[in-house]
Amino acid sequence: MNSPLAGLKVLDMSRVLAGPFAGRMLSDLGADVVKVEPPEGDITRLWGANVNGVSGYFNQQNAGKRGLCIDLSLPEGVELVRALAAAADVLIENFRPDVMGRLGLSYEVLSGINPRLVMLSISGFGSEGPESRRAAYAPIIHAESGILDRQAKIADSRPVDMALSIADTNASLHGLVGLLSALYLRERTGRGQHVDIAMIDATLVTDDHVHFALDDAFDMQPMPNEVWDTAGGRMIIAGDFRYIWRRLTERCGVVDPTPAGASLGEKIAARRDAARHFFQHTCKDRAAVIDALDAMNLAWGDVRSSSEALELPTVAHRGTFAAVDDRGGGLRRVTQSPYRFSDARSEVRGGAPHQGEHNEAVLDDWLQPGREQRARWRSALLKKG
């Protein structure tokens, strides 16, 4: 199969999204990713459609992983995690920064057991600092980072959260870069690293508009890309209105209707009315709208529903979705790995595990415990589903 990360052992102790998404990508790339859950399970087992005991949300973020269920309130559970960390290449966690230490599973403890271990910790505000103990989910970071305020000003509305967890997945992808870099460094030094990712850092670093705040240059911000009602349906057109207007007059023969002596506000209103009339009436149908946009060399996109997006021709061509075992003898659609290599393979490797489904298999593969040790650890292992 020539998977880039084949043979890599990953202990995924994270939950919900920021950590599990990183683990899912590692699994797609060939790593043996073991999802560790507490007795109550990952909360996302309750989110989305339940198909044969596996929810849609949990399936999407944990497809291809193996499942352990460990009671960390027991000394045997903590002992088992330490043994697994000793055998692992990577450990992922996204608890609040003090939790792993209180459990006796801090990086200092685990690296003493396994100096080659790379540990990825994702939290809202980092492992140290004045806000490190704050609970933080994606909406909190969206608000604290200024994104919600900016979007509200653009839409001239009250702030409202986005319909996807950008702060989580963004931190997860930055975490992937960090841990893969640490693995590369380990090849030179023989030692692992603790990679500390704060969601607030990752969000601000990836914000391509933050320089306006850094330079106090808000008056230089470009106008936002806008959604237009056209004869071909609702479309977003890339470029601020000033540029679109110039292209309309240069390439499509639209005449400036601004009367002499008009104020700036009147000029803008008149030109916008002319642009709307062009897209809705001068262009008689969808083909005419697209021809005009192409003639102006303007990028455009249809404003689609999520269901419509599943049927995009490029999505079908690239295999953006795959069918995996639905754990009941059938198939279930799930997102496919986004990575395409010239001479290697990355792909989702199956559905998500039931809680504790691979307890015995992981112990055998990673630890090969003796009878007494197996009996001791089994007291902290649970299995559901």
182: amino acid identity, one letter? A
Residue 117 near residue 110 (C-beta atoms within 8 A): yes
**Cα separations (Å) of 37 from 72, 91, 349, 364?**
9, 14, 20, 18
Phi, psi (rounded to 5 degrees) for 331: -125, 155
Residue 96 near residue 67 (C-beta atoms within 8 A): no
Place of tokens 């999204």: 17
Instruction: Name which of 68, 141, 70, 132 is nearest 101 in CA terms.
Output: 132
Strand-pair category, 226-230 with 194-198: unpaired
Rounded CA-CA distance 224/212 in Å is 14
Rounded CA-CA distance 293/287 in Å is 10
Rounded CA-CA distance 155/178 in Å is 35
Residues 6+ apart with CB under 8 A from 280: 229, 230, 231
**Cα separations (Å) of 38 from 14, 15, 21, 78?**
10, 10, 18, 12
DSSP string, 230-249: ETTEEEEESS-HHHHHHHHH
Report, in angstroms and rounded to the nearest whole number, the Rg of the chain calculated over CA atoms. Answer: 26
Helices (H), 145-285: 147-155, 166-189, 199-206, 210-214, 241-251, 264-277
Q: How many Å is the maximal CA-CA distance in the chain?
A: 93
Tokens standing for residue 88: 């692992």
Among the listed residues 32, 42, 168, 196, the single catalytic one is 168
Instruction: Name which of 66, 70, 131 is nearest 98 in CA terms.
Output: 131
201 is catalytic: no
Rounded CA-CA distance 123/246 in Å is 46
Residues 6+ apart with CB under 8 A from 329: none
Catalytically active residues, by annotation? 168
